[in-house]
Amino acid sequence: MAVKRYKVVLFHIGAWHRYEVPRAFHEAGVLHTFVTTAAYQPHRSPFYRMLGRAPLAGGFLSRRVLPDVPPAKVHATWGPDVLATTIHRAISHSRAANINREQTHWLGRKAAAMALGRGLPLVCYYYSAYTPFRILEGSGLPRIIMQCHPHPASCRRILSEEIRMNPDWKDNLLSEHEFLWGDAYYRELRDQADRADGAIVASDFTKRTLVENGFPPEKIRIAPYGAHPLPEWTKSIKPKRDGFKVLFIGNLRQRKGVSYLIDACRGLNAPGLKLILAGRCAAPFEVKNAPDWLDVRKDVSTSELWNLYKTCDVFAVPSLIEGFGQVYWEAMAAGLPIIATTNTGAVDIIREGREGFIVGIRDVNAIRERLQLLHDDPQRRIEMGNAAEELAMQSSWERYRKVLGEKLVDLLDELYGKRD
């Protein structure tokens, strides 16, 4: 466990990864205060426990449970989060987004004031860092960003390249956040990375995007996310071994490499082939000359997703841009070998040819060759799936929290110029 010599103020809105970061900082002995929105702590008081049983509040609170961290270390502001959630459901996503941005700036000022008042480093999640980092400018206090997404300038560059290379998908690509954000918000996101003194990322790809935009590589630490265990009820699902089923789960967007996966499957020699594209469809999505073996399932339920994981043969999401890609862990936990690209977090977790394969972005031939290999060699496919499942079981969120705490202390050593 990390040596307890630093204390930090942590700030982010929402329940990112079920509050694993504040839990990690607390377990490492470095958390002074966690500034956030609605964090539900049933152990805080009898009133909080009673609130969790309320019919209307239960669903909202169940997604915001913050265990283990003492209430005295948590500075939660509920009002704006509840209001934004209500407006999002009842009226307008854009209005809710505006409220979220305002509360981010407001709470960011509070987090900066706490860090300044106590002379402590400030750690902020991406999306939350712009205001507090500007306030701390010139203070001498370290500003560390949890960069969960690649640098926005790199994202825009890759997506713009894709529009030029693949104009049939232009409308789908132009619906990405990187293009929908106004120039002012885009500059905020770019500015917060530029103002950070250090960064913690989940993948080597995210690190590369920071470095190519001028961030010092020696001030970046990588801590890949953990894997959640399979829901207990999925153990009763019986795998169906009919044909050859390739599974894609994610937003049905070209940034996920959808067209390249379809083109790879077009040339496969695989009787009984089925390519299942499952996920949300919030952008214009149309496959021209769609083959019979293509099965598109939009807005599927959670239970259906887990059924797909357990009844397919291979998982492939050849993304152009991915900060990490939690779906790879999910597929591996279900016993599927994976195919991913160099622009994802899969590079940081699998061993080539053992739990899956890594290919370059837009490399249709490489995707096809790996799929053909896995089709032609069922025994190897099963062995790789077993290895993937074993690795996922070993890579728990508890392990992530331990690694993250150690990485934070190591980064603070770097920023303060202290080395043991």
Query: Who wins on pLDDT, 299 or 260?
Result: 260
User: Is residue 1 domain-resident?
Assistant: no
pLDDT at 281 over 60: yes
pLDDT at 94 over 50: no
255 & 151 share domain: no
Tell me the two tokens of residue 198: 């250090």
User: Is residue 375 domain-resident?
Assistant: yes
User: Is residue 252 domain-resident?
Assistant: yes
- Identify the residue whose tokens are 């250090």: 198
331 & 408 share domain: no
> Which has the minimum average pLDDT: 35-39, 125-129, 185-189?
35-39
390 & 402 share domain: no
User: Is residue 2 domain-resident?
Assistant: no
pTM: 0.89
Q: What is the pLDDT of residue 134?
A: 96
Domains identified in the chain, total number: 2
Confidence of residue 77 (pLDDT cuts 50, 70, 90): confident
258 & 389 share domain: yes
248 & 390 share domain: yes
Q: What share of residues in the chain are helix, strand, coil (percent, to 5)?
A: 50, 15, 35
375 & 402 share domain: no
Q: What is the pLDDT of residue 83?
A: 47
Q: What is the pLDDT of residue 395?
A: 95
Confidence of residue 46 (pLDDT cuts 50, 70, 90): low
HEC string for 119-163:
CCCEEEECCCCHHHHHHCCCCCCCEEEEECCCCHHHHHHHHHHHH
280 & 298 share domain: yes
Distance separating alpha carbons of residues 104 and 80, to the nearest angstrom: 10
Confidence of residue 2 (pLDDT cuts 50, 70, 90): very low
Query: Who wins on pLDDT, 41 or 120?
Result: 120
Q: Which amino acid is it at 112?
A: A
Beta bridge partners of 247: 276, 315
User: Is residue 263 domain-resident?
Assistant: yes
46 & 95 share domain: yes
User: Is residue 243 domain-resident?
Assistant: yes
Edge-first strand listing for the sheet containing 356-359: 294-298, 273-279, 244-249, 314-316, 338-341, 356-359
User: Is residue 377 domain-resident?
Assistant: yes
* pLDDT, tens digit (0-9, with 9 covering 90-100), for 391-420: 999 999 999 999 999 999 999 999 998 544
370 & 300 share domain: yes
Under 8 Å between Cβ of 296 and 277: yes
310 & 405 share domain: no
Q: Single out the residue of 50, 105, 54 nearest to residue 80, CA to CA.
A: 105
Distance separating alpha carbons of residues 28 and 2, to the nearest angstrom: 5
Q: What is the pLDDT of residue 48?
A: 54
pLDDT at 351 over 70: yes
240 & 367 share domain: yes
368 & 271 share domain: yes
Q: Give the domain CATH number at 210.
A: 3.40.50.2000
Domain span at residue 215 reads: 8-226+397-416
Rounded (10°) angle between helices 397-416 and 20-27: 70
User: Is residue 15 domain-resident?
Assistant: yes
Tell me the two tokens of residue 77: 């502001």
